[in-house]
Amino acid sequence: MGAALQHTVAEPELAPDRDWWRGAVIYQIYPRSFQDSNGDGIGDLRGIIQRLPYVAELGVDGIWISPFFTSPMKDFGYDVSDYRGIDPMFGKLSDFDDLIKGAHELGLKVMVDGVISHSSDQHPWFVESRSSRTNPKADWYVWADAKPDGTPPNNWLSIFGGSAWQWDTRRMQYYLHNFLAEQPDLNFHNREVQDALLDVIRFWLDRGVDGFRLDTINFYFHSQGLEDNPALRPEERNDQTAPAVNPYNFQDHIYDKSRPENLGFLQRFRAVLDEYPAAASVGEVGDSQRGLEVVAAYTSGGNRVHMCYAFDFLAPEKISASKVRGVLEDFGRVAHDGWACWAFSNHDVVRHATRWGADETDREAYLKLLSALIMSLRGSVCLYQGEELGLTEAELSFDDLQDPYGIRFWPEFKGRDGCRTPMVWERTTKNAGFSDGRPWLPVPADHLPLAVSQQYGDKSSVLEHYRRFIAFRKAHPAFAKGEIEFTAADGDVVAFVRRHGNEGILCVFNLGAENQTFETSLKTETLAGHGFHSERTDDRIKLKPYSAWFGRLL
């Protein structure tokens, strides 16, 4: 397999493509679980370098690497204690420089996680801030006095459960933490904080990164009035941002996130990115009540972030033809000049192979169809490592859990470890080729038949389907850059036309387990190269279960 994965060095660009992100397919790497190079059971930067040819062979445009910064790892790197440092478990700055060089030689862009809404409580900024009420960084985090009875300043809740306020005995005040108590929120109302974070952005851009995935982008600002959030009626609650067992969903979070002041900071952030040849950004929007509206505001106008994703397709609710059309049309209505980045799975949610595919009669065919669907929508795409293998959510015991989220809400919510288990590279090698040591999370036995070694070169495999469809997408610019217009379809069928320049492509998908027929008067020439085998006769397209059809408009 190693010889088959050789990849030629990409030709250098004569001029950077500032628009490379629009329609890009970005592969998310969770470094702890991708490849271990030193036998300690934890993936690292040199492991990523080792596997870069595999990623390039997929045909994706770039990678997004989840946090590898210095951290006490209370939330596995999303609690940063040094924004300019590499945590020793992942390697050194020189390893990162080698990674950038290797990725660029293979034609891959590199995006890194910008975790700037909060830091670790071990960050020097917070250590100083909590030391007194008068130190130079006293206002760098969100501090507030207790109510007269000693209770927190308001009713705001943490996504990890309980109050979003933690009492600090040094300052005799509460500090805000939207996540773990060890993740205090930075005070973006302080211009010095913004300046310091923008300097961090420049540091990584100067090292050669091509952009950022901005964690919890809508959590940067809070209302300085500290008003209580209103309650949501039970019928209004949903579990897109937090699991249903978390009372976080009982509130309408209008004062603790998605504040209008954020637009000004995002414009400052974009101005920094625009100083570089082709830097781009994608923001994560966690807002169950108004996610698409926030995405629209953050990506419209060309002077904020380039693209965002909300949780519309990361939620437990199963994807359907009506939902696909509804989400895309809603986005087009509220943000026609904005840009979305769609994802079905990531490091925070149950893998969609299980979340949606557990009860499907032919899960492999279903997953192939979903991959074609997401890569045909208007927007960019994030693929999560292992998604291209059809990996399912791992079933772990309580004793195996590492995630504080799952430990707290077990067993009703099992946390995020099930989607973070190690990549499976070789079926018969120790720990599936991930590590020579004991992996930080177990390698599930039912993942071994899905290993890269088992699928590579097998034209019928999920892996080869991903490679084939990414190539098909690249061959037709309408998929990456074009507009989208839906057409009437019934039941499990969703159909739309992608248009760009002189090219128009009719795309028809059957998300169901039964044969379907789609009728159209549009004149088309059937396109091949995508791996599906539905047929058109006159005005009728016959769709097999979990199948698709593509035709160029004449």
pLDDT for residue 4 is more than 60: no
**Within this chain, do residues 333 and 270 fall inside the same structural domain, yes or no?**
yes
Of 109-123, 262-276, 306-320, the poorest mean pLDDT is in 306-320
Name the nearest CA neighbour of 115 among 159, 69, 178: 69
416 and 525 assigned to the same domain:
no
Collapsed DSSP state (helix, strand, coil) of residue 447 = helix
Question: Which tokens in the block code for residue 420?
Answer: 């973070």
Residue 283 belongs to a domain: yes
Q: Which of 11, 206, 235, 275 is catalytic?
A: 275
Rounded CA-CA distance 181/190 in Å is: 21
In a domain, 422, yes or no: yes
CATH code of residue 374: 3.20.20.80
**Which residues, other chains included, contact 351 with Cβ-Cβ below 8 Å and sequence gap of 6+?**
345, 384, 386, 387, 391, 392, 393, 418, 419
Sheet holding 540-543, edge to edge: 516-519, 540-543, 535-537
Name the DSSP class of 319.
P
In a domain, 163, yes or no: no
Sorting pLDDT into bands at 50, 70 and 90, what band is 299?
A: very high
pLDDT at position 290, please? 86
Q: Same domain for 268 and 286?
A: yes
**Span 257-271, pLDDT tens digits:** 999 999 999 999 999
Catalytic residue among 36, 215, 348, 393: 215
Strand partners, 508: 495, 549
- 174 lies in some domain: no
What H or E segment, with its residue span, contains residue 381?
strand 380-384
What's the confidence (pLDDT) of residue 387? Answer: 98
Q: Count H helices, E strands: the chain? A: 13, 21
Same domain (yes/no): 432, 489: no
Last residue of a domain, one of 449, 474, 499: 474
In a domain, 77, yes or no: yes
147 domain residue, yes or no:
no
DSSP-derived secondary structure letter, 147: P
Same domain? 287 vs 368: yes
- DSSP letter string over 224-254? TT-PPPPBPPGGG---SSS-TTSGGGGB--S
Same domain, 331 and 424: yes
* 215 labelled catalytic: yes
Helices marked H in 375-403 — which ranges?
Answer: none
Q: Is the pLDDT of residue 274 over 80?
A: yes
Rounded Cα–Cα distance for residues 122 and 402 (Å)? 20
pLDDT cut 90: percent of the chain above it: 87
Secondary structure element (H or E) that encloses residue 129, with its range: helix 124-129
Whether the CB-CB separation of 92 and 86 falls below 8 Å is answered with yes
Task: For the chain, give the mean pLDDT.
Answer: 94
For residue 149, being part of any structural domain is answered with no
Q: In this predicted structure, what is the pLDDT of residue 513? A: 97
Higher pLDDT residue, 6 or 439? Answer: 439
Q: Find where tokens 């690249």 sit.
A: 474
For range 172-185, the mean pLDDT: 98
First to last CA, the chain: 42
Question: What CATH code is carried by the domain that includes residue 524?
Answer: 2.60.40.1180
Least reliable range by pLDDT among 2-11, 80-89, 387-396: 2-11
Structure tokens at 274: 């625009």
**Domain boundary pick from 413, 440, 474:** 474
Bridge pairing between strands 25-29 and 380-384: parallel
pLDDT for residue 311:
86
Whole-prediction pTM value? 0.95
With H, G, I as helix, E, B as strand and everything else as coil, classify residue 259: coil
Per-residue pLDDT tens digits for 434-466: 999 999 999 999 999 999 999 999 999 999 999
- Is pLDDT of 9 > 70? no
Task: Grade residue 10 by pLDDT with cuts at 50, 70 and 90.
Answer: low
pLDDT band, very low/low/confident/very high, at 114 (cuts 50, 70, 90)? very high
* Res 3: pLDDT: 41
Give 347-371 pLDDT, tens digit per residue. 999 999 999 999 999 999 999 999 9
pLDDT at 25 over 50: yes
What pLDDT is attached to residue 8?
52
Residues 26-74: pLDDT tens digits?
A: 999 999 999 999 999 999 999 999 999 999 999 999 999 999 999 999 9
Residues 535 and 391 in one domain: no
Structure tokens at 261: 């002041």
Burial class of residue 511 in the structure, from the number of CB atoms within 10 Å of its CB (0-12 exposed, 13-18 middle, 19+ buried): buried
CA distance 167 to 185: 14
Amino acid identity for residue 168 in this structure: D
In terms of C-beta density within 10 A (0-12 exposed, 13-18 middle, 19 or more buried), how is residue 57 classed?
middle
454/522 same-domain check: no
Give tens-digit pLDDT for 499-513: 999 999 999 999 999
Is residue 149 part of the annotated active site? The answer reads: no
Dump the DSSP string for 21-76.
TTT-EEEEE-GGGT--SSSSSS--HHHHHHHHHHHHHHT-SEEEEPP-EE---TTT
CA neighbor of 338 nearest in space, from 366, 370, 380, 371: 380
Question: Over 80: is that where the pLDDT of 13 sits?
Answer: no
CB atoms within 10 A of CB 485: 14
Name the residue among 168, 314, 132 with its Cα closest to residue 240: 314
Distance, CA of 319 to CA of 373 (rounded, Å): 11
CB–CB of 378/476 below 8 Å?
A: no
Burial of residue 393 (CB within 10 Å: 0-12, 13-18, 19+) is buried
pLDDT grade, residue 83 (50/70/90)? very high
Helix (H, G, I), strand (E, B) or coil at 185: strand
Q: Given this model, what pLDDT does residue 289 score?
A: 84
- Rounded CA gap, 475 and 60, in Å? 13
Helix (H) or strand (E) holding 382: strand 380-384
| Domain enclosing residue 549, as ranges | 481-553
* Cα dihedral 252, 256, 257, 258 sign: positive
- Residue 390 region by backbone torsions, left for phi larger than 0, else alpha for psi between -120 and 50, else beta: left
Phi, psi of 236 (to 5 degrees): -90, -15
Question: Which run of H or E residues covers position 455?
Answer: helix 452-455
Q: 424 — alpha (psi -120 to 50), left (phi > 0) or beta? A: beta
Name the strand (E) or helix (H) holding 165.
strand 165-168
384 within some domain:
yes
Q: What is the pLDDT of residues 526-547, one digit of tens each?
A: 999 999 998 899 999 999 999 9
Do both 225 and 326 map to the same domain?
yes
Q: In the chain, how many domains are there?
A: 2
Separation CA 469–CA 472 (nearest Å): 5
DSSP state of 278: S
The continuous run of DSSP H or E covering 282 comes out as: strand 280-284
- Final residue belonging to a domain, choices 450, 474, 498: 474
Do 516 and 452 belong together in one domain? Answer: no
- The answer to whether residues 499 and 456 belong to one domain is no
Cβ atoms of 505 and 498 closer than 8 Å? yes
Q: Give ∠ CA 365-370-376 in degrees, rounded to 5.
A: 130
Q: What is the pLDDT of residue 240?
A: 64
Tell me the C-alpha distance between 179 and 158, whole Å. 5
Among 14-23, 109-118, 384-393, where is mean pLDDT lowest? 14-23
Q: How confident is the model at residue 404 (pLDDT cuts 50, 70, 90)?
A: confident
Strand partners, 109: 62
Are 245 and 376 found together in one domain? yes
